[in-house]
A and B are shown apart, each in its own frame.
Chain A
Amino acid sequence: MSQSTVSGSERPNYLNSGYGVKSWLLTTDHKRIALLYLLGVTVFFAIGGVFAGLIRLELLTPQGDVFQAETYNKLFTTHGVMMVFFFLIPAIPGVLGNFLVPLMIGAKDLAFPRLNLLSWYLYIVGGLIALWAVVHGGVDTGWTFYTPYSTVYSNGWVVVTAIGIFLAGFSSILTGLNFVVTIHTMRAPGMTWLRMPLFCWGMYATSIIQILGTPVIAITLLLVAAERIFHLGIFDPAQGGDPILFQHLFWFYSHPAVYIMILPAMAVISELVTAFARKPIFGYKFIAGSSIAIAVLSFLVWGHHMFVSGQSVYAGLVFSVLSSVVAIPSAIKVFNWTATLYKGSVSYETPLLYALGFIGLFTFGGLTGLFLAAMGLDIHVHDTYFIVAHFHYIMVGGTIMGYLGGLHYWWPKISGKMYPEYWSRVSAWVIFIGFNLTFFPQFILGYLGMPRRYYAYPPEFQVWNVMSTAGASILGIGYVIPLVYFFWSMRYGKDAADNPWGATGLEWETPSPPPTENFPETPVVTGKPYDYLTASKETAVG
């Protein structure tokens, strides 16, 4: 199965191939670029997280007392912009996708290594520009930039923030393009489409959305900037523009964007469940096909964000039925993951704990999506904390569980070191419990009628807000623990074996950490993925 060579730090690998700053900042090695992304997304996540903490602090009491109303509005805007555009969207493709796609298909690198580096620079420059806007006074439109507030009434740094997001969007497009070309053209001999790990299927589906959807948000942001600077009447009704047009354009990208966040997480979960159940995945073709189905359907549901905006009732009907149907491919995945555990040889190491946490949060978050697809019910919960809770369960809970689960699973490969198992299990539990404590009360608040983006609220909502803030403090601690032990492990962790989990997949057949060229010689693939039963028979015979 794997060459059980002892992993020594003297052996040439991608980490010790160069130590200078230039060897990192000018690298075209997909593995090093993945680590550059790791640095970027960690910093932006920390910033977004601090802003979330400040929001929860203000909401501890009904009256506005910690910040000014305007400051509060800038806090939740910055929280949303940082988390959505600079953490959730790039996190898994940027870090795990970059590191793993070439390794999993047996390639030496991505198809366009220099484009890959450019993509990271665009992301970082975009992020820095958005941060510049925060430092110089911030922006208060909400991450949704609804017009005409954003184009006519807001006094914040709307255009600067939009430029930051615009650049990050190009980064996202280039990453998607790189993955699609790589998967099409650089698979190792024998690596047919149906032998490809499901992680690659997920990244492929994600890339399609990134390439097709992101240009639309780029155009939309340009139009917002054009209206703010040149006062063109595009969205401003006082000049004959249409504010609802903005919502159509914005959600045409931003609903599929939710799947840019969650499809990669699903892709990770498929890998983790099989590896720790030591069993072929149940329903490979259904899981792979459902990723593509989600990518296609995700473009046809944007109007469910506009059931109370006054869009045509008949348009609403179509969006409602398609939104109900988009739940099905997700349900198929959840059932198949669960069935994979059946009669498995299940081992509860940290990555699996995160994967099960994902299944819990995603199932619950997905089911609450049905409430919002049902038009008559959506009227009541639209723009309340019910929505806030729903999308945090799905795109935050889901994505972070997938991201952290994947990071733990592949950390031995990425760093060549093991993290402390005890503390990593603690972190998985603390994050799961903290997350539910933070966001479950928000469902109740939402149904009670508390609107989102409220700086002050009626006193009868306080108890649930206190619970949510308490949960957020636990969640915050949960996020700090892995940060500490991942850093710790880089210096003090035990050396990782090439295949510490006994997993299948080409990435485990190369040393930990891998050499710069990934594989000493091009691997040849002869069988299906997740062939745990045959593999173990061979081991038994050998």
Chain B
Amino acid sequence: MPPLFPEQASTFAPHVDALYWFLIAITAFFSLLIGTLVVVFAIKYHRRSPDEVAQEVHESGALEIVWSVIPLFLSLVTFYWGASLYFRIVRPPGDALDIYVTGKQWMWKLQHTDGHREMNELHVPVGQPVRLTMASEDVIHSFYVPAFRFKRDVVPGRFATAWFEASKPGRYHIFCSQYCGTRHSNMIGWVYAMSPSDYQAWLAGGTPGETLASAGAKRFVEQACNTCHGEQKGSRGPSLVGLFGRSERMQSGQVVVADENYIRESIVNPQARLVEGYPPIMPTYQGLISEEGLLQLTAYIKSLSPAAAAPGAASPAATATAPAPERKSAKP
């Protein structure tokens, strides 16, 4: 027997499948209802002689209302159910393990904060939320893990963030689900969901490269960001210490929470939303820094405010200025 349903390997999967079953029930009910009525009427009212006449049936406003209101009610239930599920899926919990993903024609590059890098493979622990921050170097891709009921488009020019929590150890498909060119169907890979102990063993196994944040710190100096964004107040640009997750007032009067996409925008298009009190003197870095570089810089700037970056792992003393190379994922 070929498979009918995909594996349930994330905390979302049973919820998505419950809605699926509800809708299958509705579909089956109405399809059978209409099908049965058509067949029964077809047989019962079959024309028996060529000049047979139909019987008169009066239209019924009440009937029209009944068969409008019942589907309307069911479709609104479906809407509410689907929307509440969606809200849970799009809002990441604070204590998630951060993974940085870069999609390009036609591969996925995945980086752990401790410096482990993977290509078309992703190792994650079971039982812990995993938050993906994703960027595309070229066209739109979409990171899809059917067993997790997880999908998110990775649109170039911005970061996409999304999260999942694996619930069952195993090996599951990663697909690119947004058509991205010739070898679209080769842009596939595997997620390995591992028990926490296996995951720790895996982390200890490889030799991690440089951490994202420290690579970002180097780039920060290379691009001479530090000449203006010093740690002391009174530099030409604002200090970035503690910036991530903070609300900042812009020159337009708008208040913006400094998230990944705000940091990204402030690098490639600094004039778009300028913090109040600073002159528009920063040049654009559009096209000068690769997507990976932007992810590294973002990771570095996030590491300057560890409390905001990982509220679940908050330590009050962590307002320190040093780029924090330790993994922020470990729960206390």
Mark interface residues in A295-320 (1 if CB within 8 Å of B CB, else 0). Answer: 00000000000011110010011001
Contact among B30, B144, B157, B175 with A237 in the assembled complex (CB-CB below 8 Å) = B157
Q: A154 — which chain B residues lie within 8 A by C-beta? A: 181
Q: Take A310-B158, A331-B68 as given contacts and tell me if A463 and B45 are in contact as well, using a CB distance cutoff of 8 Å.
A: no
Q: Are B34 and A363 in contact (CB under 8 A)?
A: yes
B3 contacts chain A at the CB level, 8 A cutoff: yes
List CB contacts (< 8 Å) of B35-70 with chain A: 35, 37-38, 41-42, 45-47, 51-57, 59, 63-64, 67-68
Q: Are B27 and A309 in contact (CB under 8 A)?
A: no
Residue of B nearest to A76 (CB): B179
A347 contacts chain B at the CB level, 8 A cutoff: yes
Q: Are A359 and B178 in contact (CB under 8 A)?
A: no
Residue of B nearest to A382 (CB): B151
A451 contacts chain B at the CB level, 8 A cutoff: yes
Q: B75 — which chain A residues lie within 8 A by C-beta? A: 324-325, 327-328, 370, 373
Q: Are B54 and A344 in contact (CB under 8 A)?
A: yes
Q: B176 — which chain A residues lie within 8 A by C-beta? A: 451
Q: How far is the CA of A465 from the CA of B146 in the complex (A)?
A: 18
Q: Are A375 and B183 in contact (CB under 8 A)?
A: no
Q: Are A370 and B78 in contact (CB under 8 A)?
A: yes
Contact among B34, B155, B179, B180 with A359 in the assembled complex (CB-CB below 8 Å) = B34
Q: Take A359-B38, A370-B23 as given contacts and tell me if A313 and B79 are in contact as well, using a CB distance cutoff of 8 Å.
A: no
A488 contacts chain B at the CB level, 8 A cutoff: no
Mark interface residues in B72-113 (1 if CB within 8 Å of A CB, else 0). Answer: 100110110111111111100000000000000100000000
List CB contacts (< 8 Å) of B159-214 with chain A: 160, 173, 175-186, 188
A423 contacts chain B at the CB level, 8 A cutoff: no
Q: Are B155 and A376 in contact (CB under 8 A)?
A: no
A149 contacts chain B at the CB level, 8 A cutoff: yes
Q: Are B184 and A328 in contact (CB under 8 A)?
A: no
Q: A142 — which chain B residues lie within 8 A by C-beta? A: 179
Q: Take A324-B75, A328-B75, A380-B151 as given contacts and tell me if A451 and B175 are in contact as well, using a CB distance cutoff of 8 Å.
A: yes
Q: Which stretch (A40-48, A203-211, A275-283, A407-415) binds chain B?
A: A275-283
Q: A542 — which chain B residues lie within 8 A by C-beta? A: none
Q: A532 — which chain B residues lie within 8 A by C-beta? A: 53-54
**Taking each of A64, A338, A452, which has the highest tally of chain B beta carbons within 10 Å of its own beta carbon?**
A338
A174 contacts chain B at the CB level, 8 A cutoff: no
A178 contacts chain B at the CB level, 8 A cutoff: no
Please count how many residues in chain B sit with their CB below 8 Å of the partner chain's CB atoms: 86
Q: A485 — which chain B residues lie within 8 A by C-beta? A: none
Residue of B nearest to A376 (CB): B85
B139 contacts chain A at the CB level, 8 A cutoff: yes
Q: Are A374 and B79 in contact (CB under 8 A)?
A: yes
Contact among A73, A282, A345, A447 with B6 in the assembled complex (CB-CB below 8 Å) = A447
Q: Are B182 and A376 in contact (CB under 8 A)?
A: no
B325 contacts chain A at the CB level, 8 A cutoff: no
B247 contacts chain A at the CB level, 8 A cutoff: no
B140 contacts chain A at the CB level, 8 A cutoff: yes
Contact among A146, A283, A325, A374 with B82 in the assembled complex (CB-CB below 8 Å) = A374
Q: How far is the CA of A338 from the CA of B50 in the complex (A)?
A: 22
Q: Would you give the shortest CB distance from A447 to chain B, in whole angstroms?
A: 7
Q: Which stretch (B12-20, B228-236, B273-281) binds chain A?
A: B12-20
List CB contacts (< 8 Å) of A416-464 with chain B: 444, 447-449, 451-458, 460, 462-464
Q: How far is the CA of A308 from the CA of B90 in the complex (A)?
A: 10
Q: Would you give the shortest CB distance from B133 to chain A, in whole angstroms?
A: 12
Q: B153 — which chain A residues lie within 8 A by C-beta? A: 308-310
**Contacts A321-B76, A448-B5 given; 20 further ones with Cβ under 8 A?**
A73-B181, A146-B139, A237-B157, A282-B57, A310-B158, A325-B72, A338-B41, A344-B45, A345-B45, A345-B47, A359-B34, A371-B20, A374-B82, A375-B86, A376-B85, A380-B146, A383-B177, A448-B146, A449-B146, A537-B53
Binding site for A on B (CB under 8 A): 2-6, 15-16, 19-20, 23, 26-27, 30-31, 34-35, 37-38, 41-42, 45-47, 51-57, 59, 63-64, 67-68, 71-72, 75-76, 78-79, 81-90, 105, 138-140, 142, 144, 146-147, 149-153, 155-158, 160, 173, 175-186, 188, 269, 286-287
- Which 7 interchain pairs have the tightest Cβ spacing? A237-B157, A449-B146, A376-B85, A374-B82, A375-B86, A463-B2, A279-B54
Some 22 contacts from A to B, beta carbons below 8 A apart, are: A69-B184, A142-B179, A148-B156, A237-B157, A279-B54, A282-B59, A283-B59, A309-B153, A310-B158, A327-B75, A331-B68, A332-B67, A341-B38, A343-B45, A345-B47, A345-B54, A347-B47, A363-B34, A384-B177, A451-B175, A451-B177, A532-B54
